[in-house]
Amino acid sequence: MTIITTILAVLLMGSLVYCILIMIASWRYLSVKPLSAASTPPISLLKPLCGEDEGLEENIRSFLEQDYPAFEVLFAVHRADDPAVAVVDKIKNEYEGRTEIRLIVTGESPVPNAKAHSLKQLVREARHELLVMSDSDVRVTPAFLAQLAGEFHDPSVGMITCPYRAVGGGSLWSRLEAIGMNTEFLGGVLVARMIEGMNFALGCTVAVRRNVLDSMGGFAYLQDYLAEDFVMGQRASQLGHKVLFSSYVIEHRIGSQPMEQNLGHRLRWARSTRRSRPAGYWGQIFTYPLPWALLLWSVHAAAWPFVLLTLAIRAGAAWATSSRVLHESASFSLWWLLPLQDVLGFMVWIGGFLGSTIVWRERKCTVLPDGRLQVD
């Protein structure tokens, strides 16, 4: 029992140190001031679509209402009968003569990563050198493109990836996931940025110079990976291009997923991270202070003060990311869900080690040791 108590105490202390690192990393991120656009080069916005996500029309409109002089928007679907086509057609008619909008039907994906297949076709059709790729569940303000253009004014910047503020839907499970993204996930990104620098990208929104994407082999190279966003940032960094963590925070609309769908999505993400960033995934053992505190208390009753200390420090780290960096309040209005999310996140992390099979877009796949996908 003494050995177990010691191990749990060490894991808890490591987790509390990690929480303090999150607060420091948040301060360092906020100390970088956003740049104003010195020039406004034309931009191609690329959006792969699949089905009609919750809030899809509002998400798309936010990209069309940009305070920016020259940009085109390209959408991709796999089939002409995709429900998203009707939404795009409606918006296209409204914006005719104001913004250039094109819709491309790519056909069914012959590769495991259907999103990467769509992006490959969109890049081929795009007319401009600055490419901004974003998911269908992302929402932005009119200042989005201007802020990215300002950050690209530094010629050493080859790629920009954006932090995101997760907005949960009506289900408990989506709200739990949003709390995890806004506190636990972002904290890990900020600590990695502080310690290693940005050598990866986040898939919700990635902006890249075309020549940088070409230098890594484009999506012909990326299309077999599950986490093509992570690999894109990793390859750009390896090739000597600077990957910038933007000062612009996008909004990621999760939607109202039921339990089975939400946990399946989380497990897929966990197994992807384990394969693409194995050392970092093992390091996540220190990102769950509350479960370690509760386990320590369960084997050593006198350790209850550490539970209170852990709650206070974990709350400080959560405040630093969700309130200070993301400017969102939902995580604190639902403060009572934070311990539940931490325990659930810990269980999903363990589940990430148990197997390499995932189901993605109704395809059963195996995540190979190098992060590539194999359709079963």
Least confident of 105-114, 231-240, 244-253, 319-328: 105-114
pLDDT value, residue 271: 86
Given a cut of 70, is residue 12 above it in pLDDT? yes
pLDDT value, residue 113: 83
The number of helices, as runs of H, and strands, as runs of E, in the chain is 16, 13
Nearest CA-CA partner of 312 in 289, 331, 330: 289
At 43, is the secondary structure helix, strand, or coil? Answer: strand
Chain centre to alpha carbon of residue 151? 19
pLDDT value, residue 376: 66
Length of the chain: 376
pLDDT value, residue 220: 85
Instruction: Give buried/exposed letters for 109-145 (b at 16+ CB in 10 A, else e).
Output: bebbbbbbbbbbbbbeebeeebbbbbbbbbbbeeebb
pLDDT value, residue 369: 81
Given a cut of 90, is residue 314 above it in pLDDT? yes
Q: Which residues pair with 50 in a beta bridge?
A: none
Banded model confidence at residue 194, pLDDT cuts 50, 70, 90: very high
pLDDT value, residue 272: 81
pTM: 0.90
- The residue that leads in pLDDT, 127 or 259, is 127
At 67, is the secondary structure helix, strand, or coil? Answer: coil
- The residue that leads in pLDDT, 376 or 53, is 53
pLDDT value, residue 62: 95
Per cent of the chain over pLDDT 70 is 98
